[in-house]
């Protein structure tokens, strides 16, 4: 009888230990997000992922903030490591985010080392982006950090997007095949940042003030 009691107690303690490990990982994630928010010049709002689109041909997620929080279509979304995507649909209390890895997504970027501009498009794979129309003579190297260029006004300038992972030049072709790995943890991040930029101009000042609280 005593063994049964101790066994049950041990099972409960193991469950608590597992929960503590999960909470420790979540706290670390929140600390990283807080550190990232300190480095963002724009106003931000913390949100959490509530669902992932199961369609293998799309890379979209749902978050727990919506129109009642001032979220708007086209709003940039970051995680603790870099640019994750943009809001494409807004409901009162939730929103849909298109991630940068989606094959229908493209973002203007530039090489942080020298300012060379390019367009990074999604490939449908969470760990790979492709740079299109990059001349064979472009000064781009493996390991170069790509940041948002700010062109087009969709994304603020200077946020990390990806790191160049491979460059292949094909004889006779005008453009190189360049792939890059997103800096954002597209398949892991639970807590995200919604960025309110001055250029957007869609959120009333009082809403921004409330979000900062």
Same domain for 95 and 29, yes or no, is yes
**Which contacts qualify for 47-54: CB closer than 8 Å, 24 or more apart?**
47/77, 47/191, 47/192, 47/193, 47/194, 48/190, 48/191, 48/192, 49/189, 49/190, 49/191, 49/192, 50/94
Over 80: is that where the pLDDT of 114 sits? yes
Confidence of residue 200 (pLDDT cuts 50, 70, 90): very low
Give the pLDDT of residue 196. Answer: 85
Neighbouring residues of 44: CB distance < 8 A, sequence distance ≥ 6: 37, 78, 193, 194, 195, 196, 211
Q: Is residue 57 part of a domain?
A: yes
Same domain for 81 and 116, yes or no, is no
Task: Tell me which of 60 and 170 has the higher pLDDT.
Answer: 60
Q: Supply the range of the domain harboring residue 191.
A: 7-99+187-212
Burial class, 37, CB count within 10 angstroms (exposed 0-12 / middle 13-18 / buried 19+): middle
Q: pTM for this one? A: 0.76
Residue at token pair 């492709």: 130
Q: Is residue 2 part of a domain?
A: no
Same domain for 206 and 173, yes or no, is no
Q: Is residue 95 part of a domain?
A: yes
Q: What is the number of structural domains in the chain?
A: 2
Same domain for 153 and 176, yes or no, is yes
Same domain for 74 and 154, yes or no, is no
CA pair distance 97, 76, nearest whole angstrom: 9
Q: Is residue 48 part of a domain?
A: yes
Give the pLDDT of residue 1. Answer: 72
CATH of residue 57:
2.40.10.340
In this predicted model, what pLDDT tens digit does every residue of 71-110 receive, in sequence order? Answer: 999 999 998 888 999 999 999 999 999 999 999 999 999 9
E strands, the chain, are 43-52, 60-63, 76-78, 83-90, 95-99, 106-111, 117-122, 129-135, 145-148, 160-168, 175-182, 191-196
Average pLDDT over residues 5-9: 72
Same domain for 77 and 161, yes or no, is no
Report angle CA 12, 15, 16 to the nearest 5 degrees.
90
Same domain for 23 and 85, yes or no, is yes
Answer whether 96's CB lies under 8 Å from 89's CB. yes
Same domain for 58 and 161, yes or no, is no
Q: Is residue 174 part of a domain?
A: yes
Q: Is residue 1 part of a domain?
A: no
Same domain for 92 and 110, yes or no, is no
The alpha carbon of residue 110 and the mean position of all alpha carbons in its chain are separated, in whole angstroms, by 17
Same domain for 111 and 83, yes or no, is no
């Amino acid at each position: 009888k005593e063994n049964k009691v101790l066994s049950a107690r041990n099972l409960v303690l193991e469950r608590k230990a597992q929960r503590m490990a999960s909470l420790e990982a979540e706290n670390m994630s929140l600390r990283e997000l807080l550190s990232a928010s300190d480095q963002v010049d724009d106003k931000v709002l913390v949100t959490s992922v509530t669902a992932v689109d199961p369609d293998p041909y799309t890379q979209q997620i749902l978050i727990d903030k919506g129109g009642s929080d001032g979220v708007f279509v086209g709003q940039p979304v970051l995680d603790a490591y870099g640019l994750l995507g943009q809001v494409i649909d807004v409901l009162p209390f939730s929103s849909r985010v298109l991630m940068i890895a989606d094959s229908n997504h493209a973002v203007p970027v530039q090489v942080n080392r020298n300012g060379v501009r390019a367009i990074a498009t999604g490939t449908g794979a969470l760990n790979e982006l492709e740079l299109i129309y990059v001349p064979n003579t472009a000064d781009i190297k493996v390991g170069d950090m790509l940041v948002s260029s700010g062109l087009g006004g969709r994304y603020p300038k200077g946020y990390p997007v990806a790191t160049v992972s491979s460059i292949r030049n094909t004889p006779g072709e005008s453009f190189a095949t360049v792939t890059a790995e997103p800096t954002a943890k597209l398949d892991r991040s639970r807590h995200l940042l919604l960025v309110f930029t001055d250029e957007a101009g869609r959120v009333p000042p009082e809403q921004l003030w409330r979000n900062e609280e």
